[in-house]
Amino acid sequence: MSESETASQNRKFEIEFEPVGRRAVTGAGSTLLSAAQEVGVQLVAVCGGIGICGSCRVRCMEGSLAPTEPEEEVEFTAEELSDGWRLACRARALSDVKLDIPSTSLATAQRLQLEGATTSDSSEPSVTAYQVEVEPPGLYDLRPDWERVEAALFQEQVMPRASSVHVVQHVCDRMREMSWKGRVIVRGERGAEEIVTVLPTDVPMLGLAFDIGTTKIAGYLVDLDTLQTVSRAGVVNPQIAFGEDVVSRIACANRERRLETQLRSRLAEALNELARQLTTGSGNAATRVVDAVVVGNTAMHHFFAGLSVRQLGEAPYVPVTCSSLSEPARDLGLDLSPGTTVYLPPNIAGYVGSDHVSALLAGDILSREGRVVVLDIGTNTEISLKIADRLISCSCASGPAFEGAHIQDGMRALPGAIEHVRLSGGALHVQTVDSDRPVGICGSGILDVVASMLEAGIIDRRGRFYATHPRVRSRDGELEFLLVPAEAAGHGRDIVVTSKDVVEIQLAKGAVRAGIEILCSTAGIKSSEIDTLVVAGAFGTYLDAKSAMTVGMFPRLSEDRIEQIGNAAGTGAIRMLCSASERRKAQLIAERAEYVELTTHPDFADVFTDRLFFELVRNQGVDSDARTRDVSGANARAAATDQRPSTEMQ
Ligand code: FES
């Protein structure tokens, strides 16, 4: 082999696997499949990697790969190949590469937190059903079909309008198919009703509530006759292939019109897929869905609504609109009943969206007494403080560390992800998702590790390692903590926490805490005076509140002042689906909110810098075994952690 060939064989590239959130460093000669296996990303490889089964399909989003091999030309059409589709067992990297793995190619599905209250007490749906039976046309009754339906509804004191010609055609076709009997669904105020669709007489009206997160999309199918949630499901937001966080997706959309279109259509496709899963899984059809509510952060809201996201990427980050919207489902790319509209609740600001409004609604923020903080921790963390009649909100860039990104062995909450860690009496216990052998660390796990290291004196307040601990070692001049040795790991490699990982957690927790402190100082209180801290969202469900207090992300509060309420944004969306009065409450929340912009706040930089340091909470009056209280009725955290056993690491 020539010198230059040897040099090119020795080159190393970084392969990023989305939506898993893992990265591998691989040599030029390795296949993408072996790079995935190296870091515990479980791609399906039915044929064992010989290129004949097509089960390891991946899509290259960024970077370049070696030319296609014959097996790939058999597997894919020319269009698919030009779209970046490849077989992971055949393709090799020629540069750093970012891959999108479709769910069909993943052996394990990502855990998607959907728990939360899933029934609604309020009964005031925006749609109403009327059983109608009309006379069929005959030689002596030549009225058009539509007028027959209208006449039947007049008898019920309903003065209906058709929302569109599609609805007229659909309703008339269906009435003929159903022998002129059916449940006509209308929406709107008395005297100004619009016909949505007609269903068979014994079929329930269905509604869909979606919570579009930056990483995950949660969907809930609700029977609008009984107001019960029939089924729920989640998918990874496919936009993740275009960028991990909202900012990079906005930048991507702003770069090229083609990419902006793809970002929008991938979102609509995911919602349609979720609607199909939810309806067919419960023996229904998506065309029976007669109402829908969609919540999301402001960027997701704008992508979905077809609004420009350009200005969300440029200071002063002002949205196109914060107003609530009701748009025909078909205009938003959703394949539901022809007359269905989608309600999008109001946003508060460019980085505090309708998902936070929805979480505040689910947390009954307007009716709570005392000083209440609600926070939803993610790449971007939204925080609100309710005190007397004031509702003050802000958003802080907490970064992707809690999603496992920018952490050396970080990953999302897939099977094998270390989600809880305890270091007691020198013994280290780890608990993984699905109790699989550990392959990486997800957000709640990394928070626990840092808290444990702090309590054990392995790191100091500044996050610096003490070199004397037996698990601390030096590699390439950097200190790291050995969490799981190679022989106990699922992929046969050490799992470590580096000093850089600790810095990432300091940045993330510092941003969250600084947001809480700024809101408290705006209201003239100390954070220790918070009566109730309500933690919403997926990461908030799985995190250990004691660890969050140990690292200083949360202020020191006693256990009965912390509530973890699961996916509150989803719960709020369900409430708005079931009740028009809940939509009015959401409107009131958004109108009441005073938005505080942290990036220009005069104290933010100082408070943030101060909060980068750790503080110990041991021996400071906090119950050392603090458990969390659940108010949603869903016992979200207990269900989430499922009391799985932990494993002691030697
Ligand atoms: Fe079968 Fe790649 S593993 S084609």
Asked if 493 and 416 sit in the same domain, the reply is yes
Is residue 228 in a domain?
A: no
Of the two residues 300 and 28, the one the predictor is more confident about is 300
Same domain for 37 and 170, yes or no, is no
Of the two residues 492 and 302, the one the predictor is more confident about is: 302
Q: Indicate if the pLDDT at residue 639 is higher than 60.
A: no
3-state helix, strand, coil in the chain (%, to 5): 35, 25, 40
Distance CA 446, CA 463 (A): 14
343, 382, 266, 18: CA torsion to nearest 10: -160
Give the pLDDT score at 9.
60
Across the chain, mean pLDDT equals 86
Dihedral (CA of 365, 371, 377, 379) sign? positive
Question: Does 628 reside within a domain?
Answer: yes
Pocket test for ligand 1, best of 57, 87, 101, 104 (most atoms within 8 A of CB): 87
Q: Give the span between the Cα atoms of 369 and 387, in whole angstroms.
A: 8
Q: Residue 611's closest CA among 515, 500, 497?
A: 515
Q: Is the pLDDT of residue 112 over 80?
A: no
Percent of the chain with pLDDT over 70: 90
What are the structure tokens assigned to 497, written together?
């926490």
| Interacting residues of 18 by C-beta distance below 8 A, sequence separation 6+ | 61, 98, 99, 100, 101, 240, 241, 244
- Say if 217 falls within a structural domain: no
Model confidence pLDDT, tens digit, residues 23-46: 888 887 889 988 887 777 877 776
Ligand 1 touching residue 46 (CB < 6 A): yes
Same domain, 472 and 524: no
User: End of a domain among 199, 221, 239?
Assistant: 199
pLDDT for the residue 649: 64
Residues ≥6 apart with Cβ < 8 Å to 357: 295, 345, 346, 347, 348, 572, 586, 589, 590, 593
Q: Do 388 and 511 lie in a common domain? A: yes
Please identify, by atom number, the ligand 1 atom nearest to the C-alpha of residue 87: 2
**How far away, in angstroms, is 44 Cα from ligand 1 center?**
8
Ligand 1 atom, smallest distance to 43 CA:
3
Kindly give the number of the ligand 1 atom that is closest to the alpha carbon of 88: 2
User: Which residue is it, tokens 């004196």?
Assistant: 457
Residue 387 lies in a domain: yes
Nearest residue (by CA) to ligand 1, atom 4, is 51
Same domain, 171 and 84: no
User: pLDDT for 499-545, tens place per residue?
Assistant: 999 999 999 999 999 999 999 999 999 999 999 999 998 788 889 99
52 and 187 housed in the same domain: no
**Domain-located, residue 88:** yes
* Domain identity same for 36 and 85: yes
Residue at 329 is within a domain: no
Confirm whether 82 is domain-assigned: yes
Ligand 1 within 6 A of 348 CB?
no
Q: What is the pLDDT of residues 148-184, one digit of tens each?
A: 998 888 888 887 877 689 899 999 999 999 999 999 9
CA dihedral 273, 328, 363, 267 (to 10 degrees): 30
- Of 31, 41, 43, 53, which is best to mutate to test ligand 1, by the most ligand atoms within 8 angstroms of its C-beta? 53
Distance CA 495, CA 537 (A): 27
**For 549, what's the count of Cα atoms within 13 Å in the CB-facing half-sphere?**
26
Residue range 333-391, pLDDT digits in tens: 999 988 999 999 999 999 999 999 999 999 999 999 999 999 998 888 999 999 999 99
Are 207 and 222 in contact by the 8 Å Cβ rule? The answer is yes
The predicted pLDDT at position 23 comes to 86
State whether the beta carbon of 198 lies less than 6 angstroms from ligand 1.
no
User: How far is Cα 611 from Cα 602, in angstroms, rounded to an integer?
Assistant: 16
What percentage of the chain has pLDDT greater than the value 90?
A: 57
Q: Tell me which residue range forms the domain holding 624.
A: 401-498+618-639
Question: Is 539 part of a structural domain of the chain?
Answer: yes
Cβ atoms 199, 205 nearer than 8 A: yes
Helix pair angle (568-578, 580-592), 10° resolution: 130
Looking at the structure, do residues 43 and 95 belong to the same domain, yes or no? Answer: yes
Per-residue pLDDT, 86: 95
- Could you tell me if the CB of 47 is within 6 A of ligand 1? yes
Q: Is 376 helix (H, G, I), strand (E, B) or coil?
A: strand
Same-domain check for residues 387 and 517: yes
Q: How many C-beta neighbours within 10 Å does residue 414 have? A: 27
Whether residues 69 and 79 share a domain: the answer is: yes
Question: What is the distance in A from the centroid of ligand 1 to the CA of 81?
Answer: 16
By the 10 Å C-beta count (0-12 exposed, 13-18 middle, 19+ buried), 58 is classed as: buried
Residue 394 and residue 405 in one domain:
no
The answer to whether residues 65 and 133 belong to one domain is no
CATH code of the domain in which 521 resides: 3.30.420.40
Q: How many domains does the chain have?
A: 4
